[in-house]
Each structure stands twice: as structure tokens, then as C-alpha cells.
């Protein structure tokens, strides 16, 4: 590989790294009401008023909008990023970019390439790009800060540092350099978005969002890995995020990526005016249908198992659907507690910052409300959303349903076609030890695969039937 190609490949890896930052069963009779949630281990999360929006305008803004209005000048990087066959069906210069990047106008009018929401919230299954499917192949294990130098050299050589192009790049450079110095994932495939926003907040005045090189509060240091949830679940939820942390106006919560390069709250208000449309679009998303043959007789048996053992927390499916919006406390669910507990410890400063910030201002205020537990998620499209648990520690649904089969160390190929249709999830090999960033190590803090052992009491026959039913959701 010649030197120029290596430089551009390295720059692309860096740019991607920096971007990170979901039959009619009338006889089911398992609808859940708030009155059913009085048991000490379940908490009902009430609904908040949401703004209305235009779904078509929302998708347009999602894939073309400049909510991240700083980046690398298009003339430097635009033609060098590997294409994806225009997975989003975009027009103009955006047609040449991967789905996770957008060509937008910076605030000074310079055309730049910046990351968009689909960097994390778009993924591949069976070789097909799916909007709203969490990206479970990201790699944030390396220190990419040295690659800032490459971008600096390319832009300086092309335009100089007194140019409009450098000014259009500078906010992106400032924030991503800070992130690259702190962020570090132990294994490939997990996301560090919770840490990204806490770090960005630590360098922004909460009232006006102006950047401060010196932190305005202690920077978060403990990395809490998450698997990116599917966006199509948002239409059912009363609170956002695995631990129900996000309450209030969802449009304002989901515009948090704007913190990467926002100049001040006047710019944030412009973005905020568009995000009710984005939220309206997200509510229209549907999961991809299971692509293989389903044994309907077996699935019906599985439906009965599901309604007896799973529906109380995960809801019912079919023509008359219900979703109970329940938070299960840590003592009961017993999955890795780091993410939920972190907002009472290392990330508590971020919660306080948010409460003082423009995000919390009326009208349309949003709030971060820590909870010691995790929401029982909707299961629509569960077949496509591997790996499982909030930290991506379990490779298949079969392993979720039988905790004795969960591997302590496991490795997958990250090929979206390498899928196990029997166990519902990624094919994987069981490894004897961790140490490699390609091996998921469940002995690490934050990466545990314990808890949710409710399926252990089922028979093998029941679990087989339940897996078949889950394919229909």
C-alpha cells in the first residue's frame, strides 16, 4: 500500500472512530397496567408529553442536516471515503458518502463531511444496511489521537490554518481530540456513547454551551460499555436509555450529538427546532422481518410460553399490542450494574450539569433521572439485534434464555452474514481467555453476562418454542 493510500485509510478509520459518539391474539389478556407494578422489584415509568413533527422532514434532516456543523472539508476527504452503494438513497455529494457521514455546510458556509446519527444507529444484518439498527461492529479499542495530526496536515497543506476551511474544521478537531485522549473500549463491538456525552459536557458551559478547554466539572473516567439499542423501540417507550435515564422531551434528548461541535445555544435552538421531526420519523421505523421460514405451529406454542413467562415485563405482540414500560431493579435483574450505578457515582456530575443546562430549560425540557435498574425492553425485531443485554455481553437469544450456556470469553467475525438462525444471534467461538480486543471478556467490570436468569426454569422444549415465537416479532 503506498503512503498516500495509507494516510487516507488511517484518516477514515480515525473519522469513523470519532463519530460515536432498538397474528391477532385477542385472547392474550396480558395487558399490563400501572396497578400491576406495585411489586417492590418493578417500577412503572410514566409517559411525558412529546412534540409533534413531520416524519418525512425528519428523515431528510437526519441524513442531510447539519446538526454536526463542523468536520473535515469535503474537498479533502469527501471522495476518499469508501462508498456503501448509497445505502440511504441520497442525492448530490451525499450520494458518494457512507451512510454514517453527511456532507453539510459549516456555519461559515464551507462544505464539510461530518458524522451523523447513523454512525451508531445504522447497522448491517445479512449484508443489508438497516436504518435504526444499532451498529454492533464499531471499534473504539485504539487510541486514535495521533491521527488528528494527519487531518491537520492535509487541511493545512491544502488551505492553511488561517483559512475558512480550517475554521470549519476547528470545532470538530477540538472536541474529537479531547474524546480520543480519554475514550478507550476494552473490546470491539461495544459503544461508549454515555461516556462521549459526559466528556463533552465536562468541557461546555451548561448555560450557553460554549467550549472550555479546561473542564467545567470532573471528566468521567470509568468506561460503561453499551450495545446500541434499536431505534424502532422508541415509539413504545416512556423513558429513554437502558436505565430509563432520559425523561421529558425526547426530541431534545436525542439531539445530544449536537454537543460534538455546537458553538452555543443559539445554534442548539436551530437544531432543536428540527428534532421533533426526527423523533416523528423514528416512530415510523419498523424492524426487518425474519428472513427464514418460521414453524408457525411451534411459534404458537412459543407464544403461550411467552405470555406466561415474559409478557409481564416485555409486553404483548400482535394486533393488540401492549408495552408496560417497567424498570426492573438491579437486585432482581442482576445484570451488570455499572451503567446504572455510574450515574450515582462517576457520572453524577453529568446529571447535575444536565439539570443546570439549556437541555433542561422550558419549554420542552428534558431531564436525566438516574435509576438503579434497567428497563425491560420491547422485543420487536429481537432476531436482528444481537448481541444482547445492555452491554452486548451475550451473543445469542438462546444464551439469554439459558444462562448456563453463556460463554465467558467469546469471539465473532463481525461479518453481518455470519448469523445463527437456530440460536438467534451471531455465530461465535468460545475462547479460553481474554486479553484480545477481538474477544469479549465477560470478567471485565461493566462487561458481565450475569443476570436475567428467568429462562433457566424453562424446559428445553419450551425454550425451543419460545425462540421460534420470537422470530415472529
Query: pLDDT, tens digit, for every residue of 265-290?
Result: 999 999 999 999 999 999 999 999 99
**372-390 pLDDT tens trace:** 999 999 999 999 999 999 9
**95-130 pLDDT tens trace:** 999 999 999 999 999 999 999 999 999 999 999 999
> What torsion, rounded to 10 degrees, do the Cα atoms 210, 212, 218, 222 define?
80
What pLDDT, on a 0 to 100 scale, did the predictor assign at position 319? 87
Residues in the chain: 473
Alpha helices in 65-141 (DSSP H): 74-77, 118-121
Q: For the chain, give the percent of residues with pLDDT over 70.
A: 92
Domain range annotation of the chain: 3-375
Tell me how far the alpha carbon of residue 472 is from its chain's centroid.
Answer: 24
d(CA 300, CA 472): 10
What pLDDT, on a 0 to 100 scale, did the predictor assign at position 39? 63
Looking at every residue in the chain, the average pLDDT score rounds to 92
63 pLDDT above the threshold of 80: yes
What's the pLDDT band for 94 if we cut at 50, 70, 90?
Answer: very high
The distance in angstroms from the start CA to the end CA of the chain is 46
What pLDDT, on a 0 to 100 scale, did the predictor assign at position 15? 53
What pLDDT, on a 0 to 100 scale, did the predictor assign at position 83? 84
Could you say which DSSP state residue 193 is in? H
CB-based contacts of 375, cutoff 8 Å, min separation 6: 45, 237, 239, 242, 243, 244, 325, 326, 327, 328
What is residue 447's three-state secondary structure? coil
pLDDT higher at 361 or 33: 361
What's the pLDDT band for 200 if we cut at 50, 70, 90?
Answer: very high
CB-based contacts of 443, cutoff 8 Å, min separation 6: 408, 434
**10-50 pLDDT tens trace:** 454 455 544 444 333 334 444 444 444 436 789 999 999 99
- Give the mean pLDDT of 301-322: 96
What pLDDT, on a 0 to 100 scale, did the predictor assign at position 184? 92
Report which of 279, 258, 269, 460 is spatially closest to residue 358, judged by C-alpha positions: 269
C-alpha cell at 248: 421529558
206 pLDDT above the threshold of 90: yes
**135-186 pLDDT tens trace:** 999 999 988 777 788 899 999 999 999 999 999 999 999 999 999 999 999 9
What pLDDT, on a 0 to 100 scale, did the predictor assign at position 143? 81
**257-268 pLDDT tens trace:** 999 999 999 999
Amino acid at each position: 500500500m503506498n503512503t498516500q493510500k495509507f494516510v487516507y485509510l488511517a484518516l477514515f478509520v480515525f473519522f469513523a472512530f470519532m463519530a460515536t459518539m432498538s397474528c391477532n391474539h385477542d385472547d392474550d389478556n396480558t395487558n399490563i397496567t400501572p396497578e400491576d407494578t406495585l411489586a417492590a422489584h418493578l417500577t412503572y415509568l410514566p409517559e411525558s408529553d412529546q412534540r409533534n413533527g413531520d416524519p418525512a422532514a425528519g428523515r431528510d434532516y437526519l441524513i442531510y442536516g447539519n446538526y454536526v456543523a463542523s468536520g473535515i472539508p469535503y474537498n479533502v476527504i469527501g471522495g476518499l471515503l469508501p462508498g456503501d452503494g448509497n445505502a440511504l438513497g441520497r442525492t448530490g455529494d451525499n450520494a458518494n458518502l457512507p451512510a454514517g457521514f453527511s456532507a453539510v455546510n459549516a456555519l461559515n458556509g464551507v462544505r464539510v463531511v461530518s458524522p451523523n446519527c447513523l454512525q451508531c444507529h445504522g447497522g448491517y444484518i445479512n449484508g443489508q444496511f438497516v436504518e435504526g439498527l444499532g451498529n454492533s461492529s464499531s471499534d473504539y479499542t485504539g487510541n486514535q489521537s495521533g491521527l488528528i495530526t494527519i487531518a491537520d496536515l492535509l487541511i493545512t497543506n491544502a488551505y492553511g490554518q488561517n483559512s475558512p476551511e480550517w475554521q470549519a474544521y476547528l470545532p470538530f478537531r477540538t472536541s474529537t481530540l479531547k474524546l480520543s485522549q480519554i475514550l478507550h473500549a476494552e473490546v470491539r463491538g461495544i459503544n461508549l456513547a454515555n461516556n462521549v456525552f459526559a466528556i463533552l459536557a465536562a468541557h461546555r458551559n451548561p448555560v450557553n454551551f460554549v467550549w472550555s478547554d479546561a473542564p467545567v466539572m470532573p471528566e468521567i473516567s470509568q468506561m460503561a460499555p453499551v450495545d446500541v439499542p434499536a431505534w424502532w423501540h422508541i415509539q413504545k417507550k416512556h423513558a429513554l436509555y437502558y436505565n430509563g435515564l432520559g425523561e421529558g422531551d425526547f426530541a431534545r434528548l436525542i439531539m445530544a450529538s449536537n454537543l460534538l461541535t455546537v458553538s452555543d445555544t443559539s445554534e442548539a435552538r436551530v437544531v432543536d427546532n428540527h428534532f421533533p421531526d426526527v423523533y416523528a420519523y423514528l416512530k415510523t421505523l419498523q424492524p426487518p422481518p425474519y428472513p427464514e421460514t418460521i414453524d408457525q405451529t411451534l411459534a404458537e406454542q412459543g407464544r403461550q410460553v411467552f405470555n406466561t413467562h415474559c409478557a409481564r415485563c416485555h409486553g404483548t405482540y400482535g394486533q393488540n399490542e401492549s408495552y408496560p414500560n417497567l424498570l426492573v431493579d438491579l437486585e432482581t435483574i442482576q445484570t451488570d450494574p455499572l451503567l446504572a450505578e455510574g450515574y450515582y457515582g462517576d457520572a453524577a456530575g453529568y446529571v447535575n450539569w444536565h439539570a443546570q443546562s439549556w437541555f433542561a430549560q422550558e419549554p420542552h425540557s428534558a431531564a436525566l433521572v438516574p435509576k438503579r435498574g434497567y428497563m425491560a425492553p420491547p422485543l420487536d425485531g429481537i432476531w436482528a439485534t444481537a448481541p444482547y443485554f445492555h452491554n452486548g455481553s451475550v451473543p445469542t437469544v438462546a444464551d439469554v434464555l439459558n444462562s448456563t450456556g453463556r460463554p465467558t470469553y467469546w469471539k465473532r467475525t463481525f461479518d453481518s452474514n455470519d448469523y445463527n438462525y437456530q440460536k438467534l444471534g451471531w455465530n461465535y467461538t468460545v475462547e479460553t481467555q481474554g486479553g484480545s480486543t477481538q474477544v469479549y471478556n465477560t470478567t471485565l467490570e461493566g462487561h458481565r453476562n450475569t443476570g436475567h436468569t428467568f429462562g433457566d426454569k424453562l424446559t428445553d422444549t419450551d425454550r425451543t418454542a419460545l425462540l421460534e415465537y420470537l422470530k415472529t416479532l
